[in-house]
Structure 1
């Protein structure tokens, strides 16, 4: 086979427009063949998540719908936008309860940190640390629950799965904390960056659990 024919065969295999190459392993995310198209999809989801999350308490279902859309897109499944809005419609009622609880805890923790740093309370430094840890736990819980939600499991199933999912991947939880910090920092620096930040957060919720891990790699090699 000539070099040009080889390139054409690889291109057809990568895009799905022709026969596949038997020697090539299946792609982990077959929908992510074009980084430029993926960037556009992430930005689009950032816009939609920001739009749905405008009332604040709808942030959980906005993230969950965005995560499910990007998961479908990356897996080269049907990612029509009608599915995004169907997810929002399916989970908005239960998600409002989660949103209220998350907003309340966020305000309590921020107030706790502010009072602790004012010096008005004895042991303020310890209380501030507890507040920051609480914010990290809240961020992980919200993102993991958004990633676990589906119309079948509902929010109750997603919340019940939180301890198991975090125990199964504690390093992934730290990655999600870093993602949340990144989103807050870039938004604080320039508010319009909230849109791409939300898209990146949704992408991270999809990608972090799918990342290659040493234990999984060793199991694959054993088999």
Structure 2
């Protein structure tokens, strides 16, 4: 029964994150609040809709600047991929590099969102997310696979976007906790 409750929280977190991220400038705070929502459920804390939006408000100071930067970065990469692939000889190789850079940016953002805590400054959280993405390659690869599953499943069945976003958030939290466990107990490696 507890596993089904976790799936229900993933569904709820996916819905709430998509709603909170609609203004675009709240993308990163919404992801951070979604990860905090999943963490709270796993830890047995409050996971109400009100507490979720309280977490979004707590993550918002400075988060809108990071959100604009992330969205601008993705927009530049998408435009590069579209134009280079079709209009430049050999542009397919550069488009592939841009695609890998986009996946890397998504992994860093997920790592940062999972490690965010109330009161943390977003520039330091993003730097730490980038460090963790580079240091823990296996965890980053797990996040890449979760993003790939998100893309394939929602491409085949678009209504499954809600639970899949929640599952990606859950995987970001799991990778973050895995990383912290390894940092605290290096013998278990």
* Equivalent in the alignment of 1:57: 25
Contact 1:91 1:154 in 2 (8 A): no
Contact 2:35 2:169 in 1 (8 A): yes
Q: Structure 1, unaligned stretches of length 5 or more? A: 1-32
* Equivalent in the alignment of 2:107: 140
Give the paired residue count: 188
CA–CA separation in structure 2 for the residues paired with 1:94 and 1:202: 21
1:99 aligns with 2:78: no
Deviations 1:45-94 (A, max 9, x none): 11111110112332211111010111111122343443322111122242
* Equivalent in the alignment of 2:171: 204
Give the alignment's TM-score, normalised by structure 2.
0.87
Paired residue for 2:45, among 62, 65, 77? 77
Give RMSD over aligned pairs: 2.4
State the shift of 1:216 in Å: 7.8
CA–CA separation in structure 1 for the residues paired with 2:173 and 2:182: 19
Paired residue for 1:156, among 113, 123, 144? 123
Point out the structure with the larger helix share: 2
* Equivalent in the alignment of 1:110: 78
Q: Which has the larger radius of gyration?
A: 1
Q: Structure 2, unaligned stretches of length 5 or more? A: none
* Equivalent in the alignment of 1:45: 13
Higher RCO, 1 vs 2 (CA within 8 Å, ≥6 residues apart): 2
CA–CA separation in structure 2 for the residues paired with 1:90 and 1:42: 21
Give the alignment's TM-score, normalised by structure 1.
0.75
